[in-house]
Structure 1
Amino acid sequence: MTDLKSLTDAIQSPALKAVFRHWLDVRGARTMPAWKDIDATVIGKYLPLVWAWRFDRAQGTFIGRLAGEEILAVLGKEIRGRPLEQCFPANAASVVLARYKAVIDGPQIMRTTGHVHMKTGRHGIGERIVLPLSEDGITGDGVLGATEYRLHMGDARTLGAAIDHHHEDITNYPLS
């Protein structure tokens, strides 16, 4: 775990940097912003890479809110209104659920690089950020994320040389 300044420095993708800056701007003095604070017009040019889930405490899972067109292309299905388990292969769903739950419970921000889609059965490299959301600014109730990826290793150079193309690196950044 490390601090938010080091996260700002670590993010390589300009799109992910813009989404993160917006999240920071709208959270203000709170630990986390609410879903209603996210302004699609501010991050509009990056919406194809953006996705969001709300946490349903009664069901103990995340329900899809939004997935941009590039995310839908990787998942192969719409997530809006669907439980996370219906959107990922069974072996990946438990991993994704645990990671997103850790983000809202921390609360913390998660950044991954490398084989960011390896667990879903798709292969490629990329960078992802997972940002917690909270209606009351205190208790996490959803996640906002953005993923920039390349499904073909030949395109990997566009994401920068620092990304390790052979595994997934996960770094958590606490908010407390």
Structure 2
Amino acid sequence: MFPDRLFKLAPLISPEMDCTEVTSADQLERPELRELFRLWKSKAGDRTAPSRTDIDVIELKPWLPHILLVDLMEQQADVRFRVIGTWIAEQVGRDDTGKTISEIGGTDRGKRILEEYYLAAIRFAPYRSCGTFFASAGAKSHLQAERLILPLSEDGRRCNKILSAIYFLNTDL
């Protein structure tokens, strides 16, 4: 189980963060994210969340370029990116697979992403996040992105990984 200090993170969620719990696929704008949410729900069954091993990588093929698989660190101070989709790597200008947010650089955006992941972990629930997309050249204010954040659990009691996907809202990319 994560230490008690994990639960102190919840009040630190940035007020400007547009991050809401997802209880229905209808809350998601992008059809790709709606389908990924439905797959996640079907794999969870009666459990709060599926485990990573419940989801075959072949089933994720339609979303692979847009997927992030993240390991949550025990002391909730960081996350490690296990998988970063090719589309995401192209958009940000690098592939940070295997790195932690602190290794990449502790920017305000990195802190916000960390908060979003741990919000889903603390609440043990899927979340939707929307906002300005940050790419290799900085913020692309004309591009809004929608991110789906899905908790995964090996033991059914705590979230130890996050499966996430991100798509632009105002383009077909």
Q: If the length of structure 1 is used for normalisation, what is the TM-score? A: 0.75
**Matching residue's letter, 2:153:** S
CA distance in 2, matches of 1:142, 1:107: 11
Hey, what does 2:47 align to over in structure 1?
A: 30
Hey, what does 2:152 align to over in structure 1?
A: 133
- Alpha-carbon deviation of 1:78? 2.0
Hey, what does 1:170 align to over in structure 2?
A: none
Contact 1:125-1:149 within 8 A present in 2 as well = yes
Which one of 22, 30, 46 corresponds to residue 63 of structure 2?
Answer: 46
SS where residue 4 of structure 1 aligns? coil
CA distance in 2, matches of 1:11, 1:59: 27
**Matching residue's letter, 1:128:** R
SS where residue 114 of structure 2 aligns? helix
- Deviation track 1:119-175 (CA, whole Å, cap 9, x = no partner) reads x9331212111111111122011111111126xxxxx2659xxxxxxxxxxxxxxxx
Q: Which stretch shows the higher mean deviation, 127-136 or 84-93?
A: 84-93
Unaligned runs of 5+ in 1: 151-155, 160-176
- Deviation track 1:29-58 (CA, whole Å, cap 9, x = no partner) reads 111111222222112022111111011215
Hey, what does 1:148 align to over in structure 2?
A: 167
Cα distance change on mapping 1:77 and 1:86 into 2, 3 Å: farther
SS where residue 147 of structure 2 aligns? strand
What do you get for the CA RMSD once the two structures are aligned? 2.4
Hey, what does 1:115 align to over in structure 2?
A: 132
SS where residue 60 of structure 1 aligns? coil
CA distance in 1, matches of 2:59, 2:100: 27
Contact 2:21-2:126 within 8 A present in 1 as well = no
CA distance in 1, matches of 2:73, 2:94: 20
Hey, what does 2:115 align to over in structure 1?
A: 98
Unaligned runs of 5+ in 2: 1-19
Hey, what does 2:80 align to over in structure 1?
A: 63
Cα distance change on mapping 1:86 and 1:74 into 2, 3 Å: farther
Identity in percent: 25
Q: If the length of structure 2 is used for normalisation, what is the TM-score? A: 0.76
CA distance in 2, matches of 1:136, 1:9: 29
Cα distance change on mapping 1:76 and 1:61 into 2, 3 Å: same
Hey, what does 1:12 align to over in structure 2?
A: 29
